[in-house]
Amino acid sequence: MRAMVLSAPSAPLLMTERADPIPGDGEVRIKVSACGVCRTDVHVIDAELPNIHYPIIPGHEIVGRIDLMGRGMTGHQLGDRVGIPWLGYTCGTCRYCRLGMENLCDHPLFTGYTRDGGFATHAIADARYAFALGDVGDDISTAPLLCAGLIGWRSLVMAGDAERLGIYGFGAAGHIVAQIAAWQRRAVFAFTRAGDVAAQDFARQLGVVWAGASDQQPPAPLDAAIIYAPAGELVPLALRAVRKGGRVVCAGIHMSDIPSFPYNLLWEERHLLSVANLTRQDGIDFFKIVPQAGIHIRTMTFPLDKANDAIAMLRTGQLLGAAVLQP
């Protein structure tokens, strides 16, 4: 197989030829047709997440078909079209797994971080964490749903029944969640980098009621805000924008340090929450919503050997929507 491999912190990914991987018991091998490029991949490449063992193949928004199965496999067949998300394995026995909180498992594995991912022609996955996709939707548009969509959905659920919802950072997750929220008849307010007129125009095209810079105040207090940009300085701004009793949900796996802020921004029972990973139930719930909401995914495609270009564009904020690799 061919794969774009990370061999050291912050190193460019290198195209590498490897023997085709063989699935173990309860695993499947996927012939990758599309793999989204996520902000978390940047955090992995830049060593902003702990305990990375090199070499590693990034990528955790995988769409493809099963071309080989290990022993003890149930629930899938050869040729099935599946999606492989960030959460790749949980122990099933720790306190969190027993309480139905597998996203907080004490002994997890994560696709493209602690096990090889989808920046490759083939990938291995635990069959229990392979979502059956059927044949609805094209592979390129479906790939970003495996993280930007799933984490976006989980963060939207954590935002509660907010009628006025702010979205800070209008990238892959933001543009998906904005469409779901608009379909749910919520008023969406999009916050982008100052001067990013293209992102603000894009947000308006997707039905937001207001778009502006992150340091601006919305025209009305928000019921909740979700922060997708990995910028800690947005937390006080979002707290300032929500009403009494409102919620601010931090949806990223990594964020720069949150600056100190006056207590009165948190007072009056405002809530500050974080999202960690996802559960398989999130996937089941989300993929039921997708066809109903009529989500349109904006993508820019890259061949596998141009993964470094996609990462560079994502890192510098040059993408509208999501980047997707095609092996």
Q: Give residue limits of the domains in the chain.
A: 2-146+297-326, 150-274
Average pLDDT over residues 124-135: 94
The single-letter code of the amino acid at 222 is L
Give me the chain's average pLDDT, please.
96
CATH classification for the domain delimited by 2-146+297-326, as one of 3.40.140.10, 3.50.50.60, 3.90.180.10, 1.10.510.10 = 3.90.180.10
**pLDDT per residue as tens digits for the range 15-69:** 999 999 999 999 999 999 999 999 999 999 999 999 999 999 999 999 999 999 9
Measured between alpha carbons, how far is residue 164 from residues 190, 229, 247 in Å?
Answer: 11, 19, 11
Alpha helix positions (H), 28-146: 39-45, 95-98, 139-142
| Separation CA 271–CA 288 (nearest Å) | 29
Report the CATH fold assignment for 150-274: Rossmann fold (3.40.50)
**How does strand 242-250 pair with strand 271-274?**
parallel
Which of 66, 113, 106 has its CA nearest to residue 86?
113
Fill in the DSSP letter of residue 310: H
- Structural Rg of the chain based on CA atoms: 19
**Mean predicted confidence (pLDDT) in 196-216:** 95
Cis preceding-peptide flag for 55 (omega within 30 of 0)? yes
